[in-house]
Amino acid sequence: MSRAQISHRILTCDSREIHVSGDPAINLSDDTVFQFLSEEFEGTSPTSSVGDDEDEDEEIEEDNRRDEINRFWESQHHLLQSTIRRTTSLELRIRSITKEAVSEARSTGTVCSCGGRRFDGGCRKCLMEAVCRRLQNAGFDSAICKSKWKNSADIPSGEHTFVDVMDRSNPKKEVRVIIELNLRGEFEMARTHQEYDNLVKRLPEVFVGKMERLLELLKIVCGAAKKCMKEKKMHMAPWRKYRYMQAKWLRTCERLTAPPRRPLTAEKYAGRNPRPTASMLTVDLKNFSSLHRAAVAVV
């Protein structure tokens, strides 16, 4: 058998050589293999695939962040409602008397002692005095409190007035009930988002509760305010922080006795012009002389 080319095969049959033409030789060089792979994956862009993965990761992170935010606000609403609903018989009695006093002062048009205004005009001082007097008449140790604190590294100086009731019926433990006539207004802020505003609207306008309950409310709402400012990437004012709010009701304060209420006649006729008094120049002299003669005759 003689050597033939790679492209042919030689078959021997009965001592005869038969040449069979084969397919062309396949070149399996490296260039051919890589050329084949490049043609197979032509049109596929690795960079676009990586970009799509990054977009999906960002969407997943954004969804997780929204879920976390929603869970936070739902938990805050739940905590706030459960804290407000918890109450004692003492708190219920004081709350009932306070609401009656506020409603009566605003509806009857009682004249304010500060300058002739009415209670419904928004005189906080006189409204606190009316509530304090009503509680004292009901037998409670009530007083107007004035708290005042100095400037520090954390909070600025300030002062605040409110009403409190000291209950000493239990000799082992003294209970202090705070009465804040505008608790909701203490937490209202501008440029907040809807979730925070909805939380503040759930606060009672007139708060009546023990000191411990007020502390729980402060933690909830101040924590929500901090979260809100962080989400909006805004600086939180120091007078909105928990320590400042805490100073309003928990710092050392002076208890002031409510002044006695003025007589009803003074309130009824306050603001009216006095009646004009008669002058001797306008007296009818004829009638005066006749009255004088009649009096002398009787004597």
For the residues 229-249, what does the mean pLDDT come to?
89
Neighbours of 94 (CB within 10 A): 25
pLDDT at 39: 53
| Cα distances (Å, whole numbers) of residue 27 to 9, 24, 32, 33 | 18, 9, 7, 9
Q: Which letter does DSSP use for residue 174 in this model? A: -
Distance, CA of 231 to CA of 112 (rounded, Å): 44
179 exposure class (CB count in 10 Å sphere: 0-12, 13-18, 19+): buried
| Cβ atoms of residues 162 and 249 within 8 Å | yes
Confidence of residue 287 (pLDDT cuts 50, 70, 90): low
pLDDT above 90 coverage of the chain, percent: 37
Is the pLDDT at 148 greater than 60? The verdict is: yes
DSSP SS3 for 294: helix
For residues 75, 77, 78, 81, the Cα torsion angle rounded to the nearest 10 degrees is: 160
Domain ranges of the chain: 64-261
What is the residue whose two structure tokens read 């009216």? 272
Measured distance between the N- and C-terminal CA atoms of the chain, rounded to whole angstroms: 184
Say what the pTM is: 0.65
Quick: pLDDT tens for 174-200: 999 999 999 999 999 888 888 999 999
Closest CA to 224 of 251, 254, 194: 194
pLDDT at 155: 87
Q: Which residues in the chain belong to E strands, given as ranges?
A: 8-13, 16-21, 141-149, 158-167, 175-180, 207-210, 253-256
Distance, CA of 223 to CA of 212 (rounded, Å): 17
What residues have CB less than 8 Å from 184, skipping those under 6 apart? 200, 201, 203, 204, 205
* Helix, strand, coil fractions of the chain, as percent rounded to 5: 50, 15, 35
Distance, CA of 79 to CA of 217 (rounded, Å): 9
Q: Which residues pair with 16 in a beta bridge?
A: 13
What is the residue whose two structure tokens read 């925070």? 196
| Cβ atoms of residues 211 and 200 within 8 Å | no
Backbone angles phi, psi at 201, to 5 degrees: -65, -20
Quick: pLDDT tens for 46-99: 555 556 666 676 777 777 778 888 899 999 999 999 999 989 999 999 999 999
Residues 266-285 as b/e (b if ≥16 CB within 10 A, e otherwise) read eeeeeeeeeeeeeeeeeeee
The pair of three-digit structure tokens given for residue 283, joined into one six-digit string:
């007296």
